Each structure stands twice: as C-alpha cells, then as structure tokens.
Amino acid sequence: MLNRIPILSRVSEGFSNAGNHYAIRNFRNALGKMLDSRMTMVYASFLVFVLLLGLVGPWIAPYDATDRIRGEDGELLRGEPPSLDHPLGTTEVGYDVFSRMLIGARPTAISGLLGGTIIITIGSLVGITAGYVGGRTENVLMRMTDLVYGVPLIPTAIVLIAFFGVGFIQSILVIAFVLWRGSARVLRSQVLQIKEREFILASKATGTSTPRIIMKHIFPNVATMAVMFFAIGVGYTIIIQAGLSFLGVVDPFVPSWGVMMRNAYASGQVGNYWWWSIPPGLMIAFTVVSTFMFGRSYERISGGGDDEGAMVQAG
C-alpha cells in the first residue's frame, strides 16, 4: 500500500539501508496491510489528526486559551451558543471553546505518547528480563509486579499527585509507573514460550551473547505484543490523565480536554452549556477508542488473533 504512493516509495529507497532493517520492514508491511482495512484506516486517520492538532493546534487556533471574548458592546460573551464566529460557542468566563479544543490536543497527545512509551519501556524491560534470565531475578521482578498489581491506580495517583505537586508531567509519570504491570506479565509469559524454541538454542550453541539474543531473537518475536501494549497504554494514560484533570488534582492551567470538562462541570451549567462539555468528552473518547482498535487490528494482522487477555491485563 505504502509503496503504491510514489513519494513514499522514493523516500524509502533513499533510506534503503535503514529501510531494510527487519524491524522497519516488519512495521512498514504491517502498516500497509492494516491500512487496507477500511475501519482501521478510519481509526488511523483519526489518530494522525489528533497528533497533527497537537503539533499545530495552538497556532491555528483563532484565539488564545485565555483570551476572554468580548462582544461589540464590550460585554464579555458568557456562555454564548455556537455561532459562525465561535463554532463551538464560548464558556462561562468568555473563552472560545473551539480554540481551546484545538489547543487541548497537545496535552492529550503528550500524555498518551509519554505514558505509552514509559509503560512499554519498563514493561518490556521487566518482562523480557524476567522471562529470559529466570531464576532469582525472575522471582524478584515478578513479586514486584504482583505488588504493583495490588496498587489501586486512581486513588494512588490522587494522593501522590496532590501531595507531591500538582504538575501535568508528574501525573503522567505516576500513571505510567503503575500501568507497566500488565505488559510485564504478558511479555514474560510470551518470552517463556519463545526461549524454549530451537533457534534460541542454536544461537546459544554458537556462542551468541545474552544481550544479542534478546535484541535479535527474543524482542522481534514479542514486538507485536509490545506494540499492542503501547497502543493500549496510550489509551489508558489518556483516560486516566483526563480523569485526574477532571478531579482537579492536576495543574488546572494546562488547557487539556480533561480540564475543559472539569471547568464545564464545576460551572454548574453542564446541562445548559452542552457545547462546552460534550466536544472535549467526545474527543477524549474517540482518541482512546482509536488507539484501542488500532492496537487490536495490528495484533490481528500480525497473526495474534483477538487476544482479549491483553485488554484485561492492561487495565
């Protein structure tokens, strides 16, 4: 699919050395296959749309996040319903909802990407090490994972964030440092199966070093699962970060969609000013749905089938 687009194929020729690396080749082929399915195309386009908004949103927004809109008579436009000038109306203090929607994509994209990256990094480090090395290392790492499984995520995040600083980045870190548990557990069990296969034995017999076996033979075989957990991790981080913003324990001056919903709810006019609460809610929900469905179809295409177990563990 990608090779059918002239520019992309030329670009990939230009990077032919890098492009021939098995990881990139796998990823490109999988992506090409996935985009052939129409529904996946919809989810993927939506994710790209959110990422683009995150990049350029603050520049194309007609007003600043804290611009208070005044009408012709100099009065603040409070709770103005949608109109041509303000496609999504204004808030109770006169902010332009449409602009804040555009600006709010950036915190969402950041929280998803940062959270997903940390989750899959810790998760695969712990899971692959425990699975491959085994013995006492495995015991210690897995008891640690069990312990983290006992941690109630949202209450813990509320207490830690509220007491140790209400920053935006801190909230993502707290979430990610709990949610790696699912990927660690599942990746470990996958590695346990893979390391019994003959090609691992063959590499060992030829004297390949452990790090090299892990990087070259173990990791590519669990990469599908890792991508799936990355996608689910992105989704869950976004959900929970938005939830914490909504509760008001995270910095309220980062204009994320979660903070918008909090302001709309706290104004006590959530029913009257529906244009203020429903658009950010839908955007959060669609972003999360897209990451989940994207992860699922990636896994299905790479031959994993519908693995509901991952959905269960990741939460």
Residues at the interface with another protein (CB under 8 A): 150, 152-156, 158-159, 162-164, 235, 239, 242-243, 246-249, 261, 264-265, 270-272, 274, 277-278, 281-282, 284-285, 288-289, 292-293, 306, 308, 311-312, 315
Pairwise CA distance, residues 315 & 313, whole Å: 6
Smallest distance from another protein to CB 265, Å: 6
Distance in Å, CB of 269 to another protein, minimum: 9
Work out how close the CB of 271 gets to another protein at its nearest, in angstroms, rounded to a whole number.
2
Shorter beta-carbon distance to another protein: residue 297 or 302: 297
Q: Which is nearer to another protein, 72 or 308 (CB)?
A: 308
CB of 235 to another protein, least distance (A): 7
When the beta carbons of 101 and 239 are compared against another protein, the nearer one is 239
CA–CA gap between residue 126 and residue 214 (Å, rounded): 13
Q: Cβ 73 to another protein, closest distance in Å?
A: 29
C-beta closer to another protein: residue 162 or 213: 162
Taking the CA of residue 261 as centre, how many other CA atoms within 13 Å lie in the half-sphere pointing to its CB?
19
Which of 179, 185, 49 lies closest to 114, judged by CA? 179
**DSSP, residue by residue, 17-34:** HHHTSHHHHHHHHHHHHH
* Nearest alpha carbon to residue 172 among 124, 125, 127, 116: 116
**Do residues 15 and 22 make contact, with C-beta atoms less than 8 angstroms apart?**
no
